[in-house]
Amino acid sequence: MIVEFGAFALTLALALAVLQLALATAARMRLSAVLAGAAGGASIACAGAVLLAFGALTLAFATSDFSVANVAANSHTDKPMLYKVAAAWGSHEGSLILWCLVLTGFGAALTLARGLPFGLKTCAVAVQGGLGALFLAFALFTSNPFARLDPAPFQGASLNPLLQDPALAFHPPMLYAGYVGFSVTFSLAVAALIEGRPNSSFWPAWGRWVRPWALASWVMLTIGITLGAFWAYYELGWGGWWFWDPVENASFMPWLAGAALLHSAVVTERRGALAGWTVFLALLAFTFSMLGAFLVRSGVLTSVHAFAVDPERGLMLLAILGATAGAAFALFAWRAPNLKGGGLFAPISREGALVLNNLFLTAAAAAVLLGTLYPLIMEAATGATISVGPPYFALTFTPLMVVAFLILPAGPLLAWKRGDLVGAGQRLVLAGALALGCGFLGWLAFEPRKALTAAGMALGAWLILGALAEVVERVRLFRVPLAEVVRRVRALPLGAWGMTLAHAGLGVFVLGAVVETGFKAEAAAALPIGGQVEVGAYSVRLDQVQIVEGPNYLAEQGRLTVTPGSGGRPKIVTAERRFFPAGGQTTTEVGLDFRGLDDVYVVLGERRATPDGAQAWSVRTYWNPWARLIFLGPMIMALGGLLSLLDRRLRVWVPGRRVLP
């Protein structure tokens, strides 16, 4: 009954989305506040209906109702409750409902946002309704999660045990919130193309309206991607965290476009310039999100993430992508020539630096796009199969980012309109010298010595110190009396702290990525009880192996002692090999010894016999120096974004904001 109710709520949501589109369009044409209010009501009701549908599906999963085909295919009574609930978005159908929930939820939030002018808001609500209608129709007609099975099976097929992990339970919701959040920037961009006038005060205001949505989406996408990378790191069992897998790339492209959008929207807001470019990026970010959905759900990619290998659904998604993005970019091509104008600026200026940022981020996104799609296009066009993997991205993506990172700290030190490059350089001399010193220390600290890795460490330190130098400069530390410095620190807007944190977080990530990639060590051996293996500066001893029983698995659990060679405190870790009878699958749970910034990573393998016939277990160990920073850095970046979001100037919910600057 609940299930039929869910199916009904989903159908109702589709009708409401269509109604929202129609009412908002009519409201705009007739300039009717009553119709606009009705469209807003439809938008909120639509989000409510999808929430009910999603709740019904979650309930079906929580109660293991195997008469629902989707539940039977993805759940099992033995699973812990967290994973029963998480399985609601673990399949193609369920995750599509989550997608629709976020889409309509953002639509409702847009309806409730204050301060937007009538025309722009009504247009954006109409576009958001159109997007909602397309995706809800897709969910309802090709991927209905409420389809029943008759007879209902006695037991479900369970969720892939690799996905039964806390990080992965929260990875999809965060990721989707980020992906689909860009739908609002898309709608606002389309609305601006319809409503916008050249050379008016419209564009700075539009820049201000679009920024909070872009920032919120980008923050959630950052967290989502980091959770996914962390999951890959400790669950897949070989210590990697980014593989340039096509599906990882699919989430990375909107992230890059979103990062570019954040920076370009600042220029539009402050100076009214780059309006056309900002609109383009706002359209691009959501187009990349939809492209990602197509790649993951159509079966054109082979990947661990690919669900729903169904060409028909793929074609439908391609049609949605082509229709929405095609229409939006056609509108852009038609209206963009009207977007000229805005503040003038010299090439050496804050605006100029932000243009460079956009240039490199866009080119990096293009490298990721080409690397992801090229094998598909080439196979379709010529039949030749090629692989594009990490070496390609190391030669294209990485150099672009290195140049961008070298320029980055100078940007915030340049004035708007016309900057003083020499002055900015002088303020960064100390940071630059210290960064080079850090690189040199890094070169000395790690064996074997690697010049390229040391250069990478200097680059990471440069980003962190450059971000700090900017704060020091802003508060005039050491140049004015302390009381004045304190006053200035307190007067700094949250947005400034947000920027500093985000840039420093990027440096933290670079440090971690560079050191981990340069110096990680790996050792594998067949260990009897009491046997030892050396990895990096640590030795790992196998103490005990026992069988333990989990809620829905049996595991062989090894207890190992990790001892640092330098004489630190030994630490005990447990590593497991889990067997899930429901699907007949085996997974590994790695043992992680967190030591300062380093991880010692232990994987328990199969039982095997040593040459003299004794029992032994194959044990693989990794020493991943500074691996902590790889995940800490992006989290600092997300925190920076969050702080900026709390800045009063960006809070959409603060009442009584002025509408035009």
Partner 1 sequence: MTIRLSAHPRKSQELVLPAHSIGGLETDLHPERRAPQMKRVSSFAGLNGLLGLLLCLASVAITTPVLAEPEARPDQPLASASQEARAQALFDEVRCVVCQHESIADSPAGIAADMRRLVREEIASGASDDAVRADLVRRWGDFILFKPPVSPATWLLWFGPAAIVLLIGAVFLVRARRREPSTLPLSAEEEGKLAELLRSEDVRPDTDASSPHDRREAGTTIVPPPD
Within 213-252, the residues that bind partner 1 by CB under 8 A are: 236-238, 240, 243-246
| Subset of residues 528 to 557 that bind partner 1, contact rule: CB under 8 A | 547, 554-556
Contact criterion met (CB below 8 Å) for 209 and 657: no
Tell me if 564 contacts partner 1 by CB under 8 A.
no
Beta carbon nearer to partner 1, 106 or 307? 307
User: Which residue, 71 or 174, is less far from partner 1 as judged by CB?
Assistant: 71
Compute the least distance from the CB of residue 157 to partner 1, in Å: 5
Question: Does residue 329 touch partner 1 according to CB under 8 A?
Answer: no
- Check: CB of residue 145 under 8 Å from CB of residue 191: no
When the beta carbons of 559 and 571 are compared against partner 1, the nearer one is: 559
Does position 586 interact with partner 1 (CB under 8 A)? The reply is yes
Binding of partner 1 by 29 (CB under 8 A):
no
Task: Assess whether the previous peptide bond of 391 is cis (omega < 30° from 0).
Answer: no
Q: What residues between 451 and 480 interact with partner 1 by CB under 8 A?
A: 473-474, 476, 479-480
Query: How many residues touch partner 1 (CB under 8 A)?
Result: 106
- Least gap, CB of 403 to partner 1 (angstroms): 9
Q: Are 523 and 548 in contact (CB under 8 A)?
A: no
Decide if residue 644 touches partner 1 (CB under 8 A): no
Among 72, 464, 510, 627, binds partner 1 (CB under 8 A): 72
- Considering the complex, state which of residue 451 and residue 566 has its C-beta at the smaller distance from partner 1: 451
Number of C-beta neighbours around residue 587 at 10 A: 20
The partner residues of 547 in beta bridges, in order of sequence, read 556
Q: Which is nearer to partner 1, 118 or 243 (CB)?
A: 243
Rg (CA), the chain: 27
145 lies in the binding site for partner 1 (CB under 8 A): no
Of 15 and 373, which has the nearer Cβ to partner 1? 373
Q: Starting at the earlier edge strand, list the strands of the sheet with 615-624.
A: 521-527, 615-624, 598-609, 591-595
The single residue among 299, 531, 550, 564 that binds partner 1, judged by CB under 8 A, is 299
Of the residues 423, 437, 568, 570, which one makes contact with partner 1 according to CB under 8 A: 423
Residue in the block written with tokens 């110190």 = 465
Q: Measured from the CB of residue 226, what is the shortest distance to partner 1 in angstroms?
A: 20
Q: How far apart are alpha carbons 331 and 498 in whole angstroms?
A: 34
Contacting range for partner 1; rule: CB under 8 A; set: 12-20, 120-128, 168-176, 377-385: 377-385
Classify residue 649 by its DSSP letter.
G
Please report how the helices 202-235 and 166-195 are oriented relative to each other, as an axis angle in degrees rounded to 10: 160
Question: Does 113 sit near partner 1 (CB under 8 A)?
Answer: no
Q: Which is nearer to partner 1, 324 or 396 (by Cβ)?
A: 396
Residue 532 neighbours by CB distance under 10 Å: 14
Asked whether position 566 contacts partner 1 by CB under 8 A, the answer is no
Q: How many CB atoms lie within 10 A of CB 5?
A: 15
Contact between 73 and partner 1 per CB under 8 A: yes
User: How far is residue 407's CA from residue 459's CA, in Å, rounded to a whole number?
Assistant: 11
Please pick, from the candidates 12, 53, 69, 227, the single residue that binds partner 1 as defined by CB under 8 A: 69
Q: Is 426 in the site for partner 1 (CB under 8 A)?
A: no
- 93 part of the interface to partner 1, by CB under 8 A: no
Binding of residue 208 to partner 1 (CB under 8 A): no
Give the amino acid at 437.
G
Task: Answer yes or no: are the C-beta atoms of 146 and 52 closer than 8 Å.
Answer: no
Q: Which stretch binds partner 1 (CB under 8 A): 22-30, 388-396, 501-509, 623-631?
A: 388-396
Element (H, E) at 607: strand 598-609
Tokens read off for 342: 């805005």
User: How far is 597 from 382, CA to CA, in rounded Å?
Assistant: 48
Judged by CB under 8 A, which stretch of 47-55, 294-302, 508-516, 625-633 contacts partner 1?
294-302
Instruction: Provide the β-strand partners of residue 622.
Output: 522, 601
Nearest residue (CB) to partner 1, 4 versus 484: 484
Closest CA to 323 of 333, 311, 331, 335: 331
Phi, psi of 389 (to 5 degrees): -135, -160
The DSSP 8-state label assigned to residue 449 in this structure reads -
By CB under 8 A, residue 413 contacts partner 1: yes
- What's CA 498's distance to the chain center, in Å? 18
Residue with Cβ nearer partner 1 (16 or 159): 159
414 near partner 1, rule: CB under 8 A: yes
Among 419, 456, 498, 558, binds partner 1 (CB under 8 A): 419
Which residue of 63, 199, 302, 544 would you call a contact of partner 1, by CB under 8 A?
302
By CB under 8 A, residue 400 contacts partner 1:
yes
The 3-class SS string of 136-148 reads HHHHHHHCCCCCE
Alpha-carbon separation of residue 300 from 159, 305, 325, 365 (angstroms): 23, 12, 20, 20
600-629 binders of partner 1 (CB under 8 A): 605-607, 618
Instruction: Please give the structure tokens belonging to residue 609.
Output: 């016999």
Q: Which residues contact 314 (CB under 8 A, 6 or more apart)?
A: 294, 297, 298, 299, 300
Determine which helix (DSSP H) or strand (DSSP E) holds 608, and give its type and residue range: strand 598-609
Tell me how far, at minimum, the Cβ of 409 lies from partner 1, in Å: 12
Rule CB under 8 A: choose which of 13, 139, 353, 367 binds partner 1. 367
In the bound state with partner 1, the residue whose beta carbon lies nearer, of 161 and 460, is 161
Could you say whether residue 658 binds partner 1 (CB under 8 A)? yes
- Residue 530's Cβ-count burial label (10 Å; 0-12, 13-18, 19+) is exposed
Instruction: Give the one residue of 581, 614, 653, 660 binding partner 1; rule: CB under 8 A.
Output: 581
Q: Cis ω on the peptide bond leading into residue 655 (within 30° of 0)?
A: no
- Work out whether 416 is an interface residue with partner 1 (CB under 8 A): yes
118-142 vs 166-195: helix crossing angle, rounded to 10 = 130
Interface pick for partner 1 out of 47, 363, 515, 643 (rule CB under 8 A): 363
190 touches partner 1 (CB under 8 A): no
Residues 504-533 binding partner 1 (CB under 8 A) are 524-526
State the Cα angle at 204 between 199 and 208, rounded to 5°. Answer: 155
Q: Which of 81, 112, 304, 659 binds partner 1 (CB under 8 A)?
A: 304
Of 417 and 571, which has the nearer Cβ to partner 1?
417
Q: Is 311 in the site for partner 1 (CB under 8 A)?
A: no
Site stretch for partner 1 (CB under 8 A), options 43-51, 185-193, 218-226, 384-392 = 384-392
